[in-house]
Amino acid sequence: MTRRIPLAATPLDDDTPHDECGVFGVSTPHGEGVAQTTFFGLFALQHRGQEAAGIAVSDGNRARLHKDAGLVANVFTPDALAPLSGYHAIGHTRYSTTGANAVRNVQPFLVETMHGPLAVAHNGNLVNAPALREELLNKGFGLTATSDTEVMTLMLAAAGGRTWEERVERTLPAWKGAYSLVMLAADRVIAVRDPWGFRPMSVGRLPHGGWAVASETCALNTLGCLDIDEVRPGEIVTLRGAEIQRRAALAPAAASARCTFEFVYFSRPDSVWAGRNIHHVRQRLGEELAGEHGVPADVVIPVPDSSIPAAIGYSRASGIPHNDGLIKNRYIGRTFIEPTQDLRERGVALKFNALTENLAGKRVVMIDDSMVRGTTAGPLVRLLREAGATEVHLRITCPPITHACHFGVDMGHDDDLMAARLTVDEMREHIGADSLAFLSLDGMMRAIAGDVTAGYCDACFTGRYPIEVGQAQPKLGFEGVLA
């Protein structure tokens, strides 16, 4: 069921690439607490999306769904979880990357088909969604949402084949772009990943029987999963109680395209992807940054939270002490209350407080993971100066972002990106820092992948997209008809 409540306002939007989505699936032979297990899996993935959440459950015959706007803990009260009994479940926590932040786009999507119930949840973005959507409309399908996930759901529902795995295999070649997908049928959960491997997805064995699949390993670790393994690009994984089946549906792309931003910003620090711990990678980003762009200073501070490991790495490599300089209010961005004009003008000060005792009279190196539109960096520099910093040197743990992402990261359009319009020195002048420097592409890749330079997507820094994006639609491109 869906209650229509206002979606969370985000009047104090920060200058970061926005979260993507998190997907989770579980199948158990005993059916005890499957909805609760899914809840805790989504709770561990909350950082990937805070707009909405949903869980669909099947008992082998009938599927039930609850989804709504809001954080996982707000959407799933004990009363909401109680009816969600069964053996198999999928869940989703959402940030909108295709389609508006509207109730109609909350996932999972659940439909009845001639083959039984089907629910789908998706992390990623299809670049050919406009053409696929038009094809469905021309065939007489009615669309109720503006998300590419609904398009994928209807295509799967209409596909031919004796089993859901065959239907998935027949449908996959039509999808171009990023998808880590979980499906719920009457008696199983199916997970599938695109052949480029844009988005992470892993599978693990539950300690008391059954299997779970999740966007990140941190969710599987939360549940005590064993034998955790990455879902391979182009692979279909079927979870059915105590059984697991894996099959290659599509050959992996000749050159895989893991998203570098998962390492720089998105993934939780305790997650592991491609055999690399995210926290360790971020420390290495800071070390590389210190080697490339060292500067005499008295203290290194992070912009919390994702930049903390990088600041530790920068401090370790440079010998400059690390300390806290900014304290973050982690909840202001999710407020339902519109601030007054006076408070709005304070902007960043509502999200961050400066620790004067750690900054006064100091030359400060401030570490941040990215700079997109440049709307937060300037106010943060001013905040440090007001706290008494004598110099502020901003260091960014990735190269300048010059191109939009079309694979599930909301960075805005090319024209929104500060680095697409200004030189580094012009950006420095705009934000008021004493110096500004970005980690090089080579330095970032050394931190992420060591000696391996291939197999990663760096399109937002280089404009070299791993697949053709000419058909890609703006985030709100389908909003013209359904208001």
Which positions are catalytic? 21
Place of tokens 């359904």: 482
Q: What angle do CA 133, 466, 422 make, to 5 degrees?
A: 100
Interatomic CA distance for residues 455 and 110, integer angstroms: 34
Please count the other Cβ atoms lying within 10 Å of the Cβ belonging to residue 265: 21
Q: Cα 80 vs. chain centroid, distance in angstroms?
A: 25
Cβ neighbours of residue 176 under 8 Å, at least 6 residues apart? 126, 127, 128, 467, 468, 471
| H-state helical runs in 53-198 | 72-75, 78-81, 129-138, 148-158, 164-171
User: Containing H/E element for 381?
Assistant: helix 377-386
Phi, psi (degrees; rounded to nearest 5) at 376: -105, -30
The two tokens of residue 255 are: 């050159």
For 209, the 3-state DSSP assignment is: coil
**C-alpha–C-alpha distance, residues 456 and 260, integer Å:** 6
Residue 212 sits at φ, ψ, to 5 deg, of -135, 150
User: Can you tell me the distance from the alpha carbon of 100 to that of 472, in angstroms, rounded to the nearest whole number?
Assistant: 16
CB 198 within 8 A of CB 457: yes
462 Cα distance to chain centroid: 21
Here the tokens at position 93 are 């926590």
Q: What is the DSSP secondary-structure string of 394-441? A: EEESS----S---SS-B---GGG-HHHHS-HHHHHHHHT-SEEEE--H
CA dihedral 370, 373, 375, 380 (to 10 degrees): 20
Helix (H) or strand (E) run with residue 477 in it: none
Residue 470, phi then psi, degrees to nearest 5 = -60, -30
Q: Where are the beta strands (DSSP E) in 86-197?
A: 88-94, 109-113, 116-126, 177-185, 188-193
Tokens of 186: 């009457």
Contact 204, 25 (CB under 8 A): no
